[in-house]
Copies of this chain bind each other. A is one copy, B any other.
């Protein structure tokens, strides 16, 4: 362990340097112990908010907001015979037609999408799901699968009267192999619960996201959730070992393999990863858990330009390399919103403001080695004036605090009203141009400001994954603002061969824009797959694939 220079400690954190020349601390930065299992605030997804029907009554019906969506008249409307059938499959506690009960399932957590379902089913076994879907398919009843209802594109709530099939009652760990790290569990297990389960056994879930306290692993798989650990452990296409899926006609696809390698036939599970419930319902997940790192460090850096953010990232790949587990960035506008709206902002550990911030996390097996790598890396950044200031967390509280600033941004954005949220994959060199162009565009349109519709345009995200979150925090929805933003944001992204949905998916919100990221040949192939697997089209209709032009 390197000695700690007492002078380097400010505000209880190991300080890099306020001014490089005056305060640089060569080889004297102590990077203090951080706990393996961190606990964060998961207040981002306040399910309880739905209890007050007063607030959610304001959420307009999706069918009124997206007027081009029409109920497919070929879908059957729910009848007493249908209810009787579902009552024969499920116990009374697993069925609800109560409007109050349904409220929290009809409306998404952002209060942006509202469906009109009259029936909520909560099966507790794969067999029950199979019976329900077979019946729905036979009678052409539309179904929307729902996990933790933490999606951002309206994919998990109904649009019209689709039956809501919640995975909430399927929440058991089926098996865990302590040698290989293969975890097999029900789709309705909450991500954080699984992560805690694994923490006790020295393992970690290969994904992590702000919604971990509410989101279901089945929903994570169905939406190919990205999040904060993708940089280190890769996407679910690599870490999911097997799936159990109930197809639209009730067939159970039993592919819950725990093998790391298996080249026997088409890798069917991959089709369901990211299919947002349009091909079938994921009921079971087998996933490869990595070993939990013994040493974790977190640093927050103040940076004066986006070029320097890129330079810091480039170096981190060389110098932190195998221990780098997160490289997140956010801009000054982001932290200003956090400071303004959230308690977390009071804990900003840097002395002055910076145009950009970088949050770096390392995870490794040897604390001394990691500390040394991080110290050398950070000193190099200071020496070469790539960063202007920075702190390294010394204990759990500081660790949580630094992460809470980054994780608090989406919540802070939504504090004054609706947020126009864009989740884009863009080549890193032009990453921030998107934010600046949008800000300039909205300024020019005269819609940003104290008494204007838009409060702030903020950019943050996962530099390591080329994933920008562009959030436009506003006080109210406005067609005028929407028209300034769209389709410009999608055209801009398409021009740079980016993706209009990096990790959030398509849902009802982005399906009309799919052609900005996929060719008509690709979309045609997707339609054929959908038609083959769900010929009646009962699985999560009105979403994902754009309406076919007739």
Chain A interface (Cβ < 8 Å from any Cβ of B):
177, 179-180, 202, 223-224, 226, 230, 234-235, 237-239, 251-255, 257-268, 270-271, 273-275, 279, 291, 293, 310, 314, 317-323, 363-366, 369, 372-373, 425, 427-429, 465-467, 497-506, 510, 514, 517-519, 521-523, 525-526, 528-530, 532, 544-545
Contact = CB atoms under 8 A, between A and B. Distances in A.
A260 B425 contact: yes
Copies of this subunit: 2
10 contacts: A226-B263, A235-B261, A254-B519, A258-B427, A263-B502, A265-B506, A266-B271, A266-B274, A267-B270, A291-B317
A259 to B, nearest CB: 4
Contact of A264 (B363, B518, B532): B518
A238 B287 CA distance: 14
Contacts of A497: 257-259
A19 to B, nearest CB: 29
Given A238-B237, A270-B237, A364-B321, A263 B505 contact: yes
A252 B524 CA distance: 12
Nearest to A365: B321
Contacts of A258: 427, 497
A239 to B, nearest CB: 7
Nearest to A310: B179
B259 A466 contact: yes
Contacts of A510: 264
A386 to B, nearest CB: 15
B180 A428 contact: yes
B521 A251 contact: yes
Contacts of A321: 291, 293, 364-365
A499 B261 CA distance: 8
Given A266-B530, A322-B365, 19 more contacts: A235-B238, A235-B261, A259-B466, A260-B465, A261-B466, A261-B502, A262-B517, A264-B501, A265-B518, A265-B522, A267-B274, A270-B271, A270-B273, A291-B317, A291-B321, A293-B321, A318-B365, A321-B364, A322-B364
B230 A234 contact: no
Contacts of A267: 224, 237, 270-271, 273-274
Give the most central of A254, A271, A519: most B CB within 10 Å.
A271
Given A180-B427, A465-B261, A522 B255 contact: yes
A68 to B, nearest CB: 19
Contacts of A251: 521
Contact of A514 (B179, B265, B317, B466): B265
B259 A425 contact: yes
B230 A499 contact: no
A154 to B, nearest CB: 14
B262 A266 contact: no
A102 to B, nearest CB: 28
A467 to B, nearest CB: 5
Nearest to A202: B318
Nearest to A181: B317
Contacts of A544: 265
Give the most central of A179, A318, A504: most B CB within 10 Å.
A179
Contacts of A467: 260-261
B322 A262 contact: no
A528 B251 CA distance: 14
Nearest to A236: B238
A428 B182 CA distance: 12
B179 A365 contact: no
B224 A234 contact: no
Contacts of A279: 266
B525 A268 contact: yes
Contact of A263 (B252, B253, B274, B373): B274
Nearest to A259: B425
Nearest to A260: B465
Nearest to A268: B525
Contact of A501 (B177, B263, B319, B427): B263
B264 A500 contact: yes
